[in-house]
Structures are given as C-alpha cells and as structure tokens.
Amino acid sequence: MFEKLFLLVKDNAGMAVIDNPVIPVKYHEAVINEASSSIIEVLKTQVEGGKIKDLIKYFKYPAIYQAPVVSVVVNKFANRLNKYYGIEPAAAITTARNLIPAVMQQLVEQSQNGQNTDFGLANFLSKFTGESASINTLVNKLVAA
C-alpha cells in the first residue's frame, strides 16, 4: 500500500516537484519520498493519537474535514523541504500546497472506490495498527453511523 501511495504522489508531482525550479533534479525522487512519508506519518500519528474516528470522518466527508489533516501534512512536508533540502520557507509551503491537497483528495477517492482494496479505509488503518479484524469492525460501525 505504501508503494502505491508513493506512486500516487509521483503521479501528482509534475508542477509541484518535477517542474519546480527551486527543487534540483537530483532531489526529485527524494522529495517525492518525503511527501509520501509526510502523509504516512501524519495519518499514523492520527491513529496512534486516538483520532481514528476523525480520520474516518475525513475519508468519508473530505470537504468537511479536510483542513486539519491536510494542513498538518502540508506543514510537515514544507518543514522537511526547508530543513533537508534548503528550500526557502515560502517556496516550501507553496510546493507543499501544490502537491499535498491533490494527493490527499485522490487518496480519499481511491479509498472510497470499492475496487481498490489497497486504499480501502479499513486496510489502510490496519496497516498502522496491525489489528485488521478490530479495525474492520470499527470502520464499518463508524461509516454506517
């Protein structure tokens, strides 16, 4: 699943990373990896912090619950761009804003697609917790509510 997230980020990296003059070509792959890692880490932190219900609501109603999760990912990614790649803060936040929201939206869309089991919400959450059965039950109960 994480490999597919990387590919999803890579597919969206055109203007934000590949065609971005502030990101040297030698860093393109690493920056795409940083974006993927930022998404994974924020979502994992949400789960570990007991915010599974909020995360499920985000995946069910992304327009309503978008701001908090997406903003955290944008800021985490922008901070990494600045810290590890020397990209100025304003350029880093612009890059993050150009990439992360689109990836998060596609992630939600693919999680809602019944044919894409890799991004299914229960599967996605179980990757972070290792508790497939209890996560499936929880997701089903909360999605039905």
Give the residue numbers spanning the domain of 65: 2-144
Q: What is the pLDDT of residue 93?
A: 98
Q: How many domains does the chain have?
A: 1
Mean of per-residue pLDDT scores for the chain: 84
pLDDT at 28 over 90: yes
Q: Which amino acid is at 102?
A: A
Residues 50-107 have pLDDT tens digits of 888 888 888 777 775 556 889 999 999 999 999 999 999 999 999 999 999 999 988 8
Regarding predicted confidence, which is higher, 105 or 144?
105
| Encoded tokens for 108 | 């939600």
Q: Quick check: helix, strand or coil at residue 21? A: coil
Q: What is the pLDDT of residue 133?
A: 42
Whether 106 and 8 have beta carbons less than 8 Å apart is answered as yes
Regarding predicted confidence, which is higher, 22 or 47?
22
Whether 6 and 32 have beta carbons less than 8 Å apart is answered as yes
Q: What is the pLDDT of residue 134?
A: 47
Rg over alpha carbons for the chain, rounded to the nearest Å, is 15
Q: How far apart are CA 8 and CA 77, in angstroms?
A: 16
